[in-house]
Copies of this chain bind each other. A is one copy, B any other.
Amino acid sequence: MILLDVADETSPRADDSLGARSRGKHSRVGRRGSDSVSASVSDSDSVSDSVSASVSDSVSDSLHAAKSWPCYLCSMLTIHAPEDASREAALESLSRRGEADLARVEPAVREILAAVRAGGDAAVSELAERFEGRRPERIWLGSERIAEGAALAPAEVRRDLQAAADRIRRYHEHQREVGFRYEEDGIALGMRVRPIRAVGVYAPGGKARYPSTVLMTAVPAQVAGVPRVVLATPRPTPELLAAAQIAGVHEVVDAGGAQAIGALAYGTQSVARVEKIVGPGNIYVACAKRLVFGLVDIDSIAGPSEILVVADESADPAVVAADLLSQAEHDEDAYPLLVTTSAAMAEAVNAALVAQLEGLPRRAVAEISLRERGACFLVRDRAEAARLADRLAPEHLALAVERAEELLEGIGAAGAVFLGHQTPEAAGDYAAGPSHVLPTGGATRYASPLGVYDFIVRTSLVRYSREALEAQGDLLERLARLEGLEAHARAVAIRRREP
């Protein structure tokens, strides 16, 4: 157990003083064995789940087994040269980083969900007492209470959050869908688009309290026109409530972990159930979301945060190091990855990491991430860099190269791409515009950033005229009979016979 001593401006409580942060979809879903249920269930993304360093983690083991480059200053990033026999094993291990094993927490999560389903508000309250040592006065906060809490946040904070929200909103307005209608051969066809009616947004508790994550999840829902957005988070701070208010959140549920997911999915006396739950959380939250999937929709199962920087000779190693650190400081399990065509760059970045770690408040977290999860791959040329980036399919991809757009052509899978030397990934975390809630663990191969499209539902529309049905009737009846579905054929035929 490694204890972290981290200054934290936003942490209001002594019992929040441990733990790494998580952002976006960065729930802890790795294969780690040392979490204690009682602590982890209490408050997502906090305490034991994060501070137990993952030295026994199989990904990390395999990365280290693959180390074949001489350490530089006890090498921050393990460097893998193209000719290394072990390189493929390291890449393969990283390619499998997204495989989540939620089974070990599933019994506890099932028990919590069943308790909330049966017991409602009282059960949520009891679970807060059991896991967090508190009995919330009320679980549900309406718009008045949200406004009261938000008013306690400093005016400058509210102004900054508003400025960020405005940018996020403008970006997501480009994602609006309006559906379509057209007519073909007497058949009126269409696709209607409507917002999902009620959405739950989970925001982690503990010290991993990011007002920015509230904006990044709730603003796209607001742009989609969702009439009821419910934020669930334990012990909401004034900053979180300010972000909620600015993002148009309608209700707040003061609950964390699996019990919060249960309250959103099943409803309680004070909380009406929602149709979809999105947002990051620890392994208990991830497991609970998976278990309620089907009753409600969820966004994808998420793992720790990742950045892959591709750097050529034009990059500044200090800037590359700063970007890697901005990801590494999130979480001991974060993946700071570097791909470069230059061995000199690899060494210079490692040196810059050592230098910049000095004096970093979250140094302990960042250093574990760099040493245990970090890796640098030397490549022969840009084409190989693109292939490698594509294979790793990172959440964040920073292209610190010349002609970045051209390089990107060869990379199919990435959540958000930061192009050129002047684009810090951190800008994307706050105010560039796109949501920072992104697929992790290689899921960018098939999943998209959280967006307006996650908060809409589509309906197909069909209207035949009598003439259209007559024209298409024979085809329809033949196809139905080909499949042995006579009643289908007759449902067509009866309309053709009727006067």
Contact = CB atoms under 8 A, between A and B. Distances in A.
A191 B175 contact: yes
Contacts of A482: 9-10, 157, 160, 211, 239
A462 B426 contact: no
Contact of A487 (B196, B366, B449, B465): B366
A184 B210 contact: no
B490 A210 contact: no
A13 to B, nearest CB: 14
Given A275-B446, A484-B10, A98 B295 contact: yes
Nearest to A184: B170
A294 B487 contact: no
Contacts of A207: 484
Contact of A460 (B316, B417, B420): B417
B424 A325 contact: no
A446 B296 contact: yes
A491 B400 CA distance: 13
Interface string A446-476: 1111010100111111111110110010011
B429 A480 contact: yes
**For chain A, what secondary structure do more than half of its interface residues adopt (helix, strand, loop), or is it mixed?**
mixed
Given A361-B486, A362-B485, A447-B457, A463 B420 contact: yes
How many subunits of this chain does the assembly comprise?
2
B434 A6 contact: no
Contacts of A422: 463-466, 468-469, 495
Contacts of A480: 426, 429-430
A475 to B, nearest CB: 6
A301 B457 CA distance: 16
B322 A494 contact: yes
Interface stretch (A44-52, A228-236, A407-415): A407-415
A480 B322 CA distance: 14
A472 B358 CA distance: 26
Nearest to A438: B460
Contacts of A69: none
Interface in A375-431: 404, 408, 412-431
A423 B462 contact: yes
A294 B322 CA distance: 31
A427 B495 CA distance: 12
Contacts of A430: 475-476, 479-480, 488
Contact of A326 (B175, B180, B438, B487): B487
Contacts of A196: 445-446
Contacts of A211: 482-483
A11 B482 CA distance: 10
B7 A483 contact: no
A188 B170 CA distance: 13
B99 A294 contact: yes
Interface string A282-297: 0000000010011111
Interface of A: 6-11, 21, 98-100, 156-157, 160-161, 163-164, 167, 170-171, 174-175, 180, 182, 184, 187-189, 191, 194, 196-197, 207, 209-212, 239, 275-276, 290, 293-297, 300-301, 316, 318-319, 322-323, 325-326, 328-330, 356, 360-362, 366, 404, 408, 412-435, 438, 441, 443-449, 451, 453, 456-466, 468-469, 472, 475-476, 478-492, 494-495, 498
15 contacts: A7-B484, A197-B445, A211-B482, A325-B491, A330-B485, A360-B486, A361-B486, A404-B463, A421-B495, A424-B495, A427-B476, A428-B462, A431-B476, A434-B460, A445-B457
